[in-house]
Chain A
Amino acid sequence: MVTLQLTRVSARYGRRAILEDITTPSFQGGQVVALLGPNAAGKSTLFRRILGLIKGDGNVAINGTSAERPVAYMPQDTGAKAVLTVYESVLLARMQGRSLKVQPEDLAQVDRALEELNITSLGERDIGDLSGGQRQLVSAAQALVQEPEILMLDEPTSALDLNRQINLLTVLRRLADERQMLILVALHDLGHALRFTDASMVLENGRLIACGPTEEVITPELLRQVYKVAARIEPCSKGRPQLIVEEAV
C-alpha cells in the first residue's frame, strides 16, 4: 500500500520561505487527509513541493508504489481556453508521457473518470464553454484519469454548488475506501473536513501547526488561533460533530 511521509520539508521562492520544517506521520492508501489553513498559508506550495515541482530541503518519501508517476495533482482553477473538448482534455491528461497512439484502455479510463464524477454528458463540450464548477469537475477527472495512488486536489470544491461539493467529496471518500487511494485535499470548509476526512494538516504561515485525526485537530482553540473565529463543535442529532461559528474575532 502506498504511503506518504514528509520529514522536515521546506520550500522557498527566492529568499522568501514559504514552507518551513514540515514533518508528518506516515499517511497511507485509503486515507483522506484534509489540508487546512487560511489563504496564503502555503497549501498550494506544499502540493507543488510534494509533486517535485519546486525544490527545497527535507524529504518527501513516497513508498510502497510501483507506479512511474504515483501522484496526480489537480491545481486550483486557472480557466484556460483551448480548442479542445472535455473528452480530449481528459484524454490528454491520461496520455502524458505515453506514446501518440491511444489504446482502448486509455479511452476506457477516460470514460471511467468522467462517469465517476458524473460528467459524461459534458464529454462533447468545448472546455472554453464550461462554467467554473464544470471546469473544476473536469479538472478532477484529469487527475483521476491518471490512475494515481496518491491524489492531491487543491480546493476542488471552491466553485461547486452545495450538491456538487457533497457529491465530489463522497466520490473522493469512495475512491479512498474502494481503490485504496491516498487523497490529500485542500479545503476551506471545516464542516466538510470533519465529515469526509480521516486526518487533517493545518498550515499557518508555512508552518504545520497541527496534524492528526480530524476530530482531534479541529478545536475551538485552533479555530480562534488560525481562522480568527469564535466557534463551537457540537454533535448533531445524529451524533456527528458539527461546527457552529459564532463570530469573527
Chain B
Amino acid sequence: MMTETTTAAPVSQARAFYRSQVFRRQMILAALVVALFFSLCVDLALGPARYSLGEVIAALLTPQNVSQQARVILWEIRMPVALMALVVGASLSVAGAQMQTILSNPLASPFTLGISAGASFGAALGLAFGVAIVPAAIEFVVPLNAFIMAMFTAFLIHALSLKRGVTVETIVLLGIAMVFIFNSLMALIQFFASQEAVSAVVFWTMGSLTKATWPKFWIALGILAAVMPLLARHGWALTAMRLGDAKAESMGVKPRALRLEVLVLVSLLAAVAVAFVGTIGFIGLVGPHIARILLGEDQRFFLPGSALCGALILSVGSVISKIIIPGTIIPIGIITSLVGIPFFLFLVLNHKKASW
C-alpha cells in the first residue's frame, strides 16, 4: 500500500462526488430543456399579432380549440421559423463542439474552418448571377449552392489534412486560409454585381430565420437526428480525444479515423444549417464553450448540452430580434453576436475554473 494517506478520502467519497456531478448535470440538461420550451413559446407569441403565453400553449396542445387565424399564424407562419432556430442553433453548436474536440482547438467552429464562408460564396453566386451549381427548383438554388460550397470546403480541408505531416494546428490554419480566400471572392462578386444583388448578398450573409419553411425545417431536423446518434456512438472516444492523440491511442481510440469521420459528419450539419438560414455568427463557437462551462467535457453530457445551448441561444436571439425594435425583425446573425458575445465573455470571466 502506498503511504500518501494524509489526505486520502474514503473510497466512496470520490464516487459520491462523481454521482452528485452526474446528477447535477442531468438537472442542468433538464433545466435547459425547460428554458428551451419557454423560449420557444415566447418566440411564437411575439410578432405583429401578439398572443399570450397561455394562448400559445393552448394552440400547441389543442390546435383544434383555437381560432383559425391563431392556428394559421402560430402553426403555419411562426412555427417553422421558431423550430428552425432550435435546429440550426443545435446543429451549429454541435458542429463547433466536435470541431473543437477533434482539433483540440478552442477557436475551431464552422466559421473559423471556412465552411460558412464557402457557403456564403455559393449563395452569393446564386444571388448575384443566378448561377446554379447543380440544377434545382428556384427556391432551393441558393441553399443548394451554399450547401455544395460548404461541403466542398470541408472536403478540401479533409483532403489536405490527409497529407503526411499535417497536424491539427495546420488544419485550423487551412480553415483560416479558406475564410480569407472566400471573403476575397465574395468581395469580387460584390464588385461586379448590381446594386440590388449586392443588397441581397449582404442580407443573406447577415443570416435570417425568416427564410425557414416546413420542408427546410424537416431536412435540417432529419440531418441533425441522423448525425447525433452517430456522434454519440463515439462518445467515450471523443472525450478521450481531448487528452491528446497519444493518450487516446493508448486507450484504443484511432484518432485519425475518428477525426475524419467526425469532420465529415459535422461539416454536413454545419453546411445544411448555413445553407438554409445564412451566416449566423458565433453559435458554433460560443454554444460549446457555454456547454463546457456548465457540463464539463464528458460527451454524454457535453454533446446534448452543446445542442441545447446552441438551440437556446438562437431561440433567445430570435426573441430579442423581434423586441429590440417593435415591428422590425433584425437579422438574427446580428443579434447572436451582439448579445451572445457579451454574455459569453461574462461567463468566461466569471468562471472560477479553467474552461478550456
Contacts and interface: CB of A to CB of B under 8 A. Distances in A.
Interface stretch (B50-58, B168-176, B249-257, B318-326): B249-257
Interface string B2-37: 111101111111110110010000000000000000
Given A92-B240, A164-B4, A171-B2, A128 B300 contact: no
Interface in A114-135: 114-115, 117-121, 123-124, 126, 128-129
A177 to B, nearest CB: 14
A53 B249 contact: yes
Nearest to B6: A121
A126 B235 CA distance: 20
A84 B298 contact: yes
Nearest to B11: A111
Interface stretch (B178-186, B279-287, B348-356): B348-356
Given A83-B356, A84-B239, A167-B4, A78 B246 contact: yes
Interface string A126-154: 10110000000001001100100000000
A115 B4 CA distance: 11
B17 A124 contact: yes
Interface string B274-311: 00000000000000000010001110100000000000
A15 interface: no
A110 B22 CA distance: 15
Given A88-B296, A121-B8, A96 B2 contact: no
Interface string B219-262: 00000000000001001110110111011011111000000000
B243 A82 contact: yes
Contacts of B355: 83
B196 to A, nearest CB: 48
Contacts of B21: 85, 88
Interface stretch (A29-37, A69-77, A206-214, A240-248): A69-77
- By size class, the interface of chain A is 35 or more
Interface string A192-215: 000000000000000000000000
A69 B252 contact: yes
A4 interface: no
Contacts of A237: none
Given A97-B252, A120-B8, A92 B13 contact: no
A167 B14 contact: no
Nearest to B9: A121
Given A95-B236, A111-B11, A123-B18, A83 B297 contact: yes
A89 B243 contact: yes
Interface residues of B, number: 42
Contacts of A73: 250
B134 interface: no
A96 B236 contact: yes
B188 interface: no
Given A82-B297, A84-B297, A123 B14 contact: yes
Contacts of A164: 2, 4
Interface in A63-110: 69, 72-76, 78, 80-85, 87-89, 91-93, 95-98, 100, 107, 110
Interface of B: 1-5, 7-15, 17-18, 21, 232, 235-237, 239-240, 242-244, 246-247, 249-253, 292, 296-298, 300, 353-356
Closest 8 CB pairs of A and B: A123-B14, A118-B2, A82-B242, A167-B2, A80-B244, A80-B243, A73-B250, A83-B297
12 contacts: A53-B249, A75-B247, A84-B239, A84-B296, A88-B18, A88-B298, A96-B240, A110-B15, A120-B8, A121-B14, A123-B17, A163-B3
Given A83-B353, A93-B251, A146-B251, 20 more contacts: A69-B252, A75-B249, A78-B243, A78-B247, A83-B355, A84-B298, A85-B296, A96-B252, A97-B252, A100-B235, A111-B11, A114-B14, A118-B2, A118-B3, A119-B4, A120-B10, A123-B13, A123-B17, A126-B353, A129-B354
